[in-house]
Amino acid sequence: MTLPDPILSYLKEKHQISVKNVKAVSGGSINQAARVTANGQELFLKWNETAPKDMFDKEVKGLELLREAETGLVIPEVIAYNPEEDDTPGFLLMEYIEPYRGDGEASRSFGKQLARLHSHTGTFFGLDHDNYIGRLPQSNKSHSSWTSFFIHERIEPQLEQAFLKGTLQRSLLANWSRLAGRLEDIFPDSKPSLLHGDLWGGNYFFNNKHQAVLIDPAVYYGHPEMELSFTKMFGGFSNDFYDSYAFESPLDAGFSDRVEIYNLYPLLVHVNLFGGHYASQAISILNRY
Ligand code: ADP
């Protein structure tokens, strides 16, 4: 695998970093990625020649917010990335962390630490800047109500995109309006909690000390149930993880009935990123309301 020359030149000129031993890393859904050796260190490089220029800048900001929360979760150290105004293709160079299998104890620590992350609360639902989920823009305008944030910043922008692309029919709006009108009664109250924002199974792994490592965030202050639902999108995490989370931060009754409502968001994001069969899942959820 070869890296784009402008990235190699940028790293050499601006950071005196010479990259060697490039090995492709798979598993990402949006960017190209490689494990590299540079100045005697093992590093992880991801890049994208077509994505919006500020995508990695926002990823770095998200990683910083997660790190500042001091939960015990491991956040890879950022070594270099290029600013938005630079012409080089967007890239992010960070510490390489070798993935290991986690055991039950590792999952229990992860659950507890995620609950700790969620105990960091803000004044509003949202964030002081917009960011990305995958390569789709994610709007984080402030709302004092979770329901209003969920409707206006999460579901409606994605629905609108799907209507414009024709992957979903505008007639679904009637179902969505019915559901939207009931959400205030369906969602339990919560403070705005710091969320990773894109926590599915591909965005964490364990290191050789059995600590959970978080990558690829789409951070904002939201409802903790939104994050827990997201973890259940593709098969879910282990029972140890959920038990330990709930021990640290008990769940409101009826959470499992709400999961598919929260997951309309990642589902619609998938409709807009990948189309196809995700559309029928979104339609069937909306048809139930
Ligand atoms: P994408 O933005 O394309 O989804 P990711 O950030 O999820 O890419 O990274 C792709 C894969 O690379 C991940 O699934 C993970 O296995 C691996 N990875 C990500 N960051 C690191 C890292 N710092 N060290 C080692 N492996 C990593």
Instruction: Tell me, yes or no, if 198 is annotated catalytic.
Output: yes
User: Domain containing 199 — which CATH number?
Assistant: 3.90.1200.10
Dihedral of the alpha carbons of 174, 224, 133, 78, in degrees to the nearest 10: 170
Distance from residue 215's CA to the centre of ligand 1 (Å): 7
86 plus 112 within the same structural domain: no
Ligand 1 pocket, residue 46 CB under 6 Å: yes
Residues 119 and 57 in one domain: no
Same domain, 149 and 272: yes
d(CA 144, CA 80): 35
Summarize pLDDT for 255-285 with one digit per residue, the tens.
999 999 999 999 999 999 988 789 999 999 9
Q: Whose CA is nearest to atom 16 of ligand 1?
A: 27
Q: How many domains are contained in the chain?
A: 2
Using one digit for the tens of pLDDT, what is the confidence trace for 175-196?
999 999 999 999 999 999 999 9
Ligand 1 in contact with 201 (CB < 6 A)?
A: no
- 46 backbone φψ class: left, alpha, beta (φ>0; ψ -120 to 50): beta
Average pLDDT over residues 214-242: 96
Q: Is the CB of 181 under 6 A from ligand 1?
A: no
- Annotated catalytic residue within 54, 57, 198, 240: 198
Domain co-membership, 273 together with 247: yes
User: pTM for this one?
Assistant: 0.96
User: Alpha-carbon distance 283 to 186, whole Å?
Assistant: 20
The Cα–Cα gap between 219 and 152 comes to: 17
Could you tell me if residue 211 is inside a domain? Answer: no
157 lines ligand 1 (CB under 6 A): no
Select from 95, 118, 149 the last residue of a domain. 95
pLDDT tens digits, one per residue of 22-65: 999 987 778 899 999 998 899 999 999 888 889 999 999 999 99
Report which of 258, 46, 72, 262 is spatially closest to residue 134, judged by C-alpha positions: 46
Among 67, 95, 123, where does a domain finish?
95
For residue 11, the CA-to-ligand 1 centroid distance in Å is 20
Residues 154 and 247 in one domain: yes
Q: Kindly report, residue by residue over 165-176, the tens digit of the pLDDT.
A: 999 999 999 999
Span 138-148, pLDDT tens digits: 999 999 999 99
Domain residue limits at 42: 5-95
Distance 94 CA to ligand 1 centre (A): 10
For the purposes of burial, counting CB atoms within 10 Å of the CB of 146, is it exposed (0-12), middle (13-18) or buried (19 or more)? buried
Q: Is the CB of 202 under 6 A from ligand 1?
A: yes
Same domain, 82 and 183: no
How far are the Cα atoms of 68, 154, 237 from residue 262, in angstroms, in the given order?
26, 10, 17
Mean pLDDT to the nearest integer, 91-115: 96
